[in-house]
Structure 1
């Protein structure tokens, strides 16, 4: 594999720490870990935008109450 190298695993209490070589450095301060078989996959967590969050939301189909129902009619005011 051209994009591979030897890395070291250390112990920190009950946690295992992986030292990542500079050429494999990831942006940010957090990553997403996922295990597939014997492979450990490390992916950077990209900061999300409000627009990307809104596109994941499901459309609201609930019927909301009419908040004006039962109110007296507005007065005609001439300014």
Structure 2
């Protein structure tokens, strides 16, 4: 039977400004993997979760399947349609 890891006690962290954004210094024992996170509010709390990078094509396709489909009000940006010249192909 695996030994449960001891829970990390809450610690105070430093808030600071980075240009126009507020940032937080995360203590090493709370370090998250990767270089991107999801952040959302739950009442007075901010929840920060690491973004899980798909390990293979099956995980990627499953992640896409869980995203909400586009709705009738979703809009795509206008794209300038430029003509392709033969020299652009090679």
Same fold flag (TM > 0.5): yes
Residue 52 of structure 1: how far off its partner (Å): 1.8
Residue 2 of structure 1: how far off its partner (Å): 5.1
Any stretches of 5+ residues in structure 1 without a counterpart? Answer: 59-79
Any stretches of 5+ residues in structure 2 without a counterpart? Answer: 1-6, 67-90
| TM-score using structure 1 length | 0.63
Q: How many Å separate the matches in 2 of 1:2 and 1:25?
A: 12
Using CA pairs below 8 Å that are at least 6 residues apart, which structure has the higher relative contact order?
Answer: 1
Q: 1:5 aligns with which of 3, 11, 21?
A: 11
Residue 51 of structure 1: how far off its partner (Å): 0.4
Bigger radius of gyration: 1
Aligned residues: 58
| TM-score using structure 2 length | 0.56
Q: How many Å separate the matches in 2 of 1:33 and 1:13?
A: 19
The answer to which structure has the higher helix fraction is 2
- SS for the counterpart of 2:60 is helix
